[in-house]
Structure 1
Amino acid sequence: MDRLKNKVAIVFGAGPNIGGTIAHFLATEGARVCVMDASEAAANETVAYLQERGLEGFGIAGNARNNEEVQNAVAQTVARYGRLDIAVNMAGRVHWSHVLDMKLDDWNDSVGSFATAGLITTQHCARAMLETGGGSIIHILSTAAHFGEADGAAYCAAKAALLSFARSSALDLAHLGIRVNTVTPCSMEHQLWTTMRDEMFDPNWTPPERSGFYSRQEYLDQMPLRRFPKASDLAWATVFLASDESSCMTGADIAVDGGLRHKYPTWSPGKHHPVDIRDYARNVQWTKYGDPQGPLTDLLGEPV
C-alpha cells in the first residue's frame, strides 16, 4: 500500500478504464494524483472515485497536445503538492483507414497527437522533476507500436513514433535522474463491453467492412495465456515503473499482452487450448477504475 508513499503523479487521460484505473492504483499505493483529461466530467468523476475511498487527488480539464494546458496542469500540481515524481501519458487520437483511403487530416491528427503529446508531457513533467532530483515518466503504447496492422497505418506509425521518442528521451534524461519507460498492452478486456460488445451479444451482428478486421475469437486464439489483459494488469505494470523497484530501468518496454508479442507467429494457441469467446465473456467481471462491478452478463445480458 505504500510503494509510492510521498510521491506525486500526473495521469494524462482519466477514463474509468485505463487512465482512471492507473490513477486509482497510483493513489492506492500512496501517491497524490492529478488527473487531466480533455473531458472535465471524466476528470472530475475519477477524482470523486478516489476521494470517496479516502485517496488524494484533483482533476483538471486539458488536452495533452496543448503546450499551455499541459504546462498549467504541471504548475497546478506542483503548486498544490510541492513536487512531481511520476507522469503517465496515454493521450492520442486513433483513425482507421486503408492506406489508399487515408485522409491527410486524419493522418496528421493521429500521427501528430501521440508523438506531440509525448513530447509536451515529457518536457513539462521532466522540468518539474528536475527540481526534486528526478522521477519516472511512463508512456502507454500498444502492440501497434511493434507491428504493422491492416487499416492501421496511422495508428501504427503514431505509436511506433511514441516508442522511439520514449527511448530517445530516456537517453537524454538519464543523467538527470529521470527515467522514461513504456507499457505495451494489446486489445484489452474492457473492450468486450465497450467497442466490441455487439460482436458477442448481438445475434444480428455482422463484421465491419474493413480488410484488417479480425474477430475477438480470432484475437483470443492468438493469446498464449488465453485471456485479454485487464486494466488492472496495465495499472500494476505502471505502478512498478513508477516505483523505486524499477530504479535501474529506463528506455524499457513492458509487454502486458498475455504473451502475444513473443509467441512464434505461426503458432496459434487456440488450436491446442480452445477457449470460446462467448464462454469467456460469461466469466468476465466488468470493472470500473480496476474494481470489479459484477459479471459482464449483468451489464449486457447473456451472450447469444
Structure 2
Amino acid sequence: MDRLKDKVAIVFGAGPNIGGTIAHFLAREGARVCVTDVKEEAAREAADFITARGGQAFGMVGDARNNEDVERIVAQTVERYGRLDIAVNMAGRVHWSDVLSMKLDDWHDAVGSFATAGLLTTQHSAKAMLACGASGSIIHLLSTAAHFGEADGAAYCAAKAALLNFARSAAMDLAHRGIRVNTVTPCSMEHQLWTTMRDEMFDRDWKQPERHGFYSRQEYLDQLPLRRFPRASDLAWATVFLASDESACMTGVDIPVDAGLRFKYPTWTPGKHAPVDIREYARNTKVTRYGEAQENLTDLLGDPN
C-alpha cells in the first residue's frame, strides 16, 4: 500500500468512474492527491471520498484546456504539498460525426481540446517537477480511437492520435530531465453499461442510432479475447504502475488495457468460440464508484428479461 509513499499527484478529471478511481488508487498507495474537474461538485466529491477513507486529497475546479487554470492548479498543489511527482490527464471533448457532416467548430473543439490539455498539463506539471527536483511521471489516458479509424469518429480519432504522438514526443523532450511521459489505452469500458449504454442494454425505448460506426454492446463484447470489458480499476492499476518507481525505465510507452482487443487477429471473433451473452454479463456486473463495488447492475436498472 506504499508504492507511492511521499509522492504528490494531480488528476485532471475527477468523475466517479475513471478519473476518480485513479485518484483513489493513487491515494491508497500513499500519494497526496489534488483532484480537479470542470464541475466543482465532482472535484469535491472525489476528494471527500478519498479523505473519508484515510487518504490525503483536496479538490479544485479547473479546465485542463485552459492555460491559467492548469497553471493555478499546479501552483496551488505545490504550495499545499511542497512538490509534484505525478500528473494524470484525461481531459477533452468528444464529438461524433461523419466526415461529410463534420462541423468545423466541433472539429476544432475535439482536436484542439485533447492535444491542448495534453500540452498544458505536461508543460506546467513538468516545470513544477523540475523546480522541486522530482523524477516525475506524466500519464495521459487515451482510447482505442488513438490507434484505429472509426466511422463517424474522425475528430475523436484524430484528437486521441494527436495526444498519443504528443506524449511520445514529450517523453523524448523530457527524458534527459528525468521526467517520464507514458499513456494508457482502454477500449469501451464496463461502466458504460450503466451510463451511456443502459437503454440499449435494457431495451428501454432504445432505437438503433443512425451513426454508421455504431456497434452494440454484444458485438463489442464478442471482440474481446478476455471476454470482459475493462473496468476503471484496471486503468487505475496501470496508472499506479506508471506513476511508481516500478516503471522507472519506461517512457514513451502505451499500455493497452483492452482485454486483448488491439492484438487479436482482425477477422477472429472470440465470442463465436467462447460465447458470453451480454445480458448474463450484466446480471453479474457490479456498479462501481471510485473503484469500489456499490450494487449489482440489475438491482440498479432491473433485470433485462
Note whether the superposition's TM-score is higher than 0.5: yes
1:202 deviates by: 2.2
Instruction: Show the counterpart of 2:238.
Output: 237
SS at match of 2:129: helix
Instruction: Show the counterpart of 1:219.
Output: 220
Instruction: Show the counterpart of 1:228.
Output: 229
SS at match of 1:9: strand
CA contact (8 A) 1:43 1:61 kept: yes
Provide, for residues 18-46 of structure 1, a one-character-per-residue CA deviation record: whole Å limited to 9, x for no partner. 00000000000000000110001100000
Q: Please give the alpha-carbon distance, in whole angstroms, between the structure 2 residues aligned to 1:11 and 1:97.
A: 29
Q: Please give the alpha-carbon distance, in whole angstroms, between the structure 1 residues aligned to 2:246 and 2:36.
A: 26
Instruction: Show the counterpart of 1:303.
Output: 304
Could you tell me which amino acid in structure 2 is paired with residue 113 of structure 1?
Answer: S
Quote the sequence identity (%).
78
Could you tell me which amino acid in structure 2 is paired with residue 17 of structure 1?
Answer: N
Instruction: Show the counterpart of 1:264.
Output: 265
CA contact (8 A) 2:111 2:155 kept: yes
Could you tell me which amino acid in structure 2 is paired with residue 97 of structure 1?
Answer: S
Instruction: Show the counterpart of 1:171.
Output: 172
Q: Please give the alpha-carbon distance, in whole angstroms, between the structure 1 residues aligned to 2:218 and 2:93.
A: 26
Alignment length, in residue pairs?
A: 304
List alignment gaps of at least 5 residues for structure 2: none
Provide, for residues 126-148 of structure 1, a one-character-per-residue CA deviation record: whole Å limited to 9, x for no partner. 00000223200000000000000
CA contact (8 A) 1:133 1:176 kept: no
- Counterparts of 1:1-304 in structure 2, within 5 Å, are 1-131=1-131, 132-304=133-305
Could you tell me which amino acid in structure 2 is paired with residue 243 of structure 1?
Answer: S
SS at match of 2:295: strand
Q: Please give the alpha-carbon distance, in whole angstroms, between the structure 2 residues aligned to 1:258 and 1:145.
A: 17
SS at match of 2:272: helix
SS at match of 2:97: coil
1:262 deviates by: 0.4
SS at match of 1:57: strand
Q: CA RMSD in A?
A: 0.7
Instruction: Give TM-score scaled by structure 2 length.
Output: 0.99
Moved more, 126-135 or 171-180: 126-135
Could you tell me which amino acid in structure 2 is paired with residue 218 of structure 1?
Answer: E
Q: Please give the alpha-carbon distance, in whole angstroms, between the structure 2 residues aligned to 1:164 and 1:236.
A: 23
Q: Please give the alpha-carbon distance, in whole angstroms, between the structure 1 residues aligned to 2:47 and 2:146.
A: 30
SS at match of 1:105: helix
List alignment gaps of at least 5 residues for structure 1: none
Q: Please give the alpha-carbon distance, in whole angstroms, between the structure 1 residues aligned to 2:249 and 2:105.
A: 40
CA contact (8 A) 1:33 1:56 kept: yes
CA contact (8 A) 2:85 2:134 kept: no
Could you tell me which amino acid in structure 1 is paired with residue 6 of structure 2?
Answer: N
SS at match of 1:255: strand
Instruction: Give TM-score scaled by structure 1 length.
Output: 0.99
Q: Please give the alpha-carbon distance, in whole angstroms, between the structure 2 residues aligned to 1:80 and 1:154.
A: 38
